Amino acid sequence: RKEVEQDPGPFNVPEGATVAFNCTYSNSASQSFFWYRQDCRKEPKLLMSVYSSGNEDGRFTAQLNRASQYISLLIRDSKLSDSATYLCVVNTPYKLSFGAGTTVTVRA
Amino acid sequence: DGGITQSPKYLFRKEGQNVTLSCEQNLNHDAMYWYRQDPGQGLRLIYYSQIVNDFQKGDIAEGYSVSREKKESFPLTVTSAQKNPTAFYLCASRGQLNTEAFFGQGTRLTVV
């Protein structure tokens, strides 16, 4: 079983739509969680850290469910500029494990 | 500006050659990482270092070597033993164990 698994998508949504996707992780000792955004042929950049109570940053909301070992990301009011691959990242002691990414395409 | 710098951005290697990818950071981070990314796939960990003069193998270390002689620098050598080295290589660093990582802009290596 992979350490971090994501729905690869692609999610193809119109501008203004809401899109949500999940990520599951296998190591119950995981201590911190992140969502990164990666544009084509670029390095990943931090979108948001995921806190145990869930957190919101503008149009983006992240949730963590430790009991079921999954993390979710919700994007409201999608913009064309939200088109990217979203990487779920799970921290186990000493290393970060990455999911393969969820591709989101927002169309006009 | 503080950051993490990788060079070169593009690198071409002949079969049988060793090449070294540079990674430098001025963020005063203790931990540094090397990842490999293949098209349509996630990042896979090659090597990581938690402190100067110490490093550990990641999930796909075969055919690679690293050194960590200075806190700021974590170069990666892709040796001729690496059978399929063509990929996008990303270096990252972070200050504390549970914090986010910061990435360099990556090196795209192609075997010709």
With an 8 Å Cβ cutoff, are B98 and A46 in contact? no
The answer to whether B9 touches B89, Cβ cutoff 8 Å, is no
Enumerate the residues of chain A whose CB falls inside 8 A of the CB of residue B101. 89, 96
Closest partner residue to B42 among A34, A46, A101, by Cβ?
A: A101
Q: What is the pLDDT of residue A5?
A: 94
- φ and ψ of A95, to 5 deg: -150, 160
Q: How far apart are CA A36 and CA B88, in angstroms?
A: 17
DSSP assignment letter at A81:
G
Q: Binning pLDDT at 50, 70 and 90, where does residue A8 land?
A: confident
Contact B68, B76 (CB under 8 A): no
Mean pLDDT score, B79-90:
93
What pLDDT sits at residue B39?
85
Contacts of A91 in chain B (CB under 8 A): 97-98
Question: Residue A53 — very low, low, confident or very high, per pLDDT cuts 50/70/90?
Answer: confident
Neighbours of A37 (CB within 10 A): 19
Selected residue of A98, A102, A103 to mutate for chain B interface (largest B Cβ count, 10 A):
A98
Searching chain A, which residue's CA lies closest to the CA of residue B39? A41
CA angle A53–B100–A36, rounded 5-degree value: 80
Closest C-alpha among B79, B50, B49, B74 to residue B62 = B79
Q: What's the gap in Å between the CA of A86 and the closest CA on chain B?
A: 10
CB contact under 8 A, A96 and B50: no
